[in-house]
Structure 1
Amino acid sequence: MDMLSTLPRHLDTKDLSNDANSLNVTMPAAAAAAFQLSTNFLNATPVKTDQQILENSMLEDDPNANCQLATATDTKSICYDSQSSPRWGPQHKGAQELANLYSPAAMCGIITADFGSGLVHWAADTWGSVELPIVGKAFLRPFREHHIDPTSITRHDFIETNGDNFMVALPILAAVAFNFLTKSPADIQDHYPISAYLFLCSIFVAMTNQIHKWSHTYFGLPRWVLFLQDNHIILPRRHHRIHHVAPHETYFCITTGWLNWPLEKLRFWSGMENIIEYLFGCRPRADDFKWAQKSQ
């Protein structure tokens, strides 16, 4: 049986063949019929009518006019009066509230963690001695070992690598969590910037040594870690090599490394060393040099 004979009578087969020919496509009769049916259906039931689009869309030539069409038959737009709320634009209440939710505090938290890692790293690399009681062997010894054997950190387990930093970060994270669980929504909103700052700062502080360990790991890293390193979201491996050029006097920030270049250009660390050496007579990295020069 010819498929065209099954079509509704109001469809003209000549029209169908003309539509197919206009597309420069050779169609069988059934395909041409299906094409015409789908075209008629879409034309009869559009997703949005032209009038609906005009009434509910922002005018491209005047996006902040806050105007709307008066009626479906009147295509001339009229603006809201001064007592009405704008439909869109910078004066819209929702737009204002959403804009106020943005806060640079979170980014400042990450930058603070990066600077903190640099400050601690610089102080431990540059000053003090392993012979100092308590802090010498417990705190300064790993920094001296790291410059002589940089890959030693890759042989440490998670607890040995991150335990100290987590002890600093966990109480702050616990306080932030407690506030979110006990405060009212209004209080949480009022203190959101400082909460975001403390949260991200603590997270990055907690993960600093793990990030540092990854910067010395050249095999078997997960793809997501490589992605973060390659996009300099965390400390990249190639970037950290600069610090491990003797005498280890620059690029101390080891969380993200974002601050290393600007601090170096400002001569921040060398300036601090000159001030301390002038005031107290201490020579920078004297203990580090002593351990690096041991031959027996």
Structure 2
Amino acid sequence: MLPAHDDISERRQALEAVALAAAGGLLGALVWRLWGSELQAPPLAVLAVAAGGAFAADFVSGIVHWIADTWGHETMPVFGRRFLRPFRVHHVNPDDFLRRRFLDVNGDVAMLTAPILALAHCLPMRGATGQLLAAGVAGFCATILPTNQVHQWAHQSAPPRWVARLQRLGLILSRPAHLRHHRAPHAANYCIATGWCNPFLERIQFFRRLERAVTRWTGLQPRSDDESFRQVFEPSALLNPPDRPDADGNA
């Protein structure tokens, strides 16, 4: 059968629920503080920095996605099962992602985002520097927090109407844009928050150049376990599973 994402325990669900509530509350409070402060920086500068934070979040989503898709093995301690395996499973069985619950989809990102937002509340709001930094963090976190949810919507053939409108406006990742990533060898359009960075990064071959640099420096080969994963889990392999050796080593 096709692989599936691992189910999460009730304890982890509770932790992720707390993280989501904390991240959402901290983000709302940061925006409220910024909105209620007497702006020392030009409003257009605040908006520009917030937009820059959103672009940065999209770029970071691409870097993380590229690392998880390209390097390492799911047998690696700690990171393999929790971080790498879901990405490898997703390429072979994209529909499994559509069955994931809200907490499972969004909890991990919330646990990483909440501490950033907590630190952002230490920024002073009385000067232009603090306000601009707060705007950048708010733009970054408002974009990175729902990244996996946006990713899930990009796989839905009929997302909610308001989501489809945001996709058509180019404010979040669209289904056609993301489907380009799901063509083997899954080596394009890595950015999955808004997708804004993808055209430029593809034009300059950013990730391919980065892969060549990593291989040159380390000797590691990108996507080295893709073929073995594909042989076991692609539909044709499921219909005709590869022979497994018996106890004497005979296939």
The match for 1:101 is 43
The match for 1:208 is 147
* 1:69-111: CA deviation from partner (whole Å, max 9, x where unpaired): xxxxxxxxxxxxxxxxxxxxxxxxxxxx898222121011000
Shift of 1:190: 4.1
The match for 2:161 is 223
Q: Tell me if structure 2 keeps the 8 A contact 1:173–1:202.
A: yes
Please state whether the residue corresponding to 1:213 is helix, strand or coil.
Answer: helix
- Within 5 Å, give how 1:65-80 maps onto structure 2: none
The match for 1:114 is 58
Of 245, 250, 265, which aligns to 2:183? 245
The match for 2:131 is 192
Shift of 1:118: 0.3
- Mapped pair 1:132 → 2:76: yes
Of 257-266 and 272-281, the range deviating more from structure 2: 272-281
Say what the alpha-carbon RMSD is for the aligned residues: 1.7
Shift of 1:117: 0.4
Of 234, 240, 264, which aligns to 2:172? 234
Q: Distance in 2 between matches of 1:163 and 1:196?
A: 24
Task: Give the partner amino acid of 1:203.
Answer: A
Normalising by the residue count of structure 1, what TM-score does the alignment of the two structures yield? 0.62
Residue 99 to residue 166, structure 1, CA distance change in 2 (3 Å): closer
Q: Distance in 2 between matches of 1:135 and 1:110?
A: 26
Task: Give the partner amino acid of 1:101.
Answer: P
The match for 2:222 is 284
* 1:39-83: CA deviation from partner (whole Å, max 9, x where unpaired): xxxxxxxxxxxxxxxxxxxxxxxxxxxxxxxxxxxxxxxxxxxxx
Q: Distance in 1 between matches of 2:191 and 2:164?
A: 19
Shift of 1:204: 1.2
The match for 1:144 is 88
Q: Distance in 2 between matches of 1:137 and 1:100?
A: 47
Q: Distance in 2 between matches of 1:202 and 1:139?
A: 20
Q: Distance in 2 between matches of 1:122 and 1:99?
A: 36
Normalising by the residue count of structure 2, what TM-score does the alignment of the two structures yield? 0.73
Q: Distance in 2 between matches of 1:205 and 1:243?
A: 19
User: Deviating runs (4+, > 3 A) in structure 1?
Assistant: 175-179
Residue 100 to residue 291, structure 1, CA distance change in 2 (3 Å): same
Shift of 1:169: 1.0
Q: Distance in 1 between matches of 2:80 and 2:119?
A: 31
Q: Distance in 2 between matches of 1:243 and 1:196?
A: 31
Q: Tell me if structure 2 keeps the 8 A contact 1:169–1:203.
A: no
Residue 196 to residue 98, structure 1, CA distance change in 2 (3 Å): closer
* 1:218-254: CA deviation from partner (whole Å, max 9, x where unpaired): 13x2211111101110000000010000000111000
Higher gyration radius (CA): 1
Shift of 1:178: 5.6
Shift of 1:267: 0.8
- Mapped pair 1:176 → 2:120: yes
Please state whether the residue corresponding to 2:189 is helix, strand or coil.
Answer: coil
Please state whether the residue corresponding to 1:102 is helix, strand or coil.
Answer: helix
Unpaired segments ≥5 residues, structure 1: 1-96
Q: Distance in 2 between matches of 1:191 and 1:212?
A: 32
Higher relative contact order (CA 8 A, sep 6+): 2
The match for 2:26 is none
* 1:161-181: CA deviation from partner (whole Å, max 9, x where unpaired): 0111001111222333465xx
* 1:164-221: CA deviation from partner (whole Å, max 9, x where unpaired): 1001111222333465xxx5x624x4411110100110121111000000000113x2
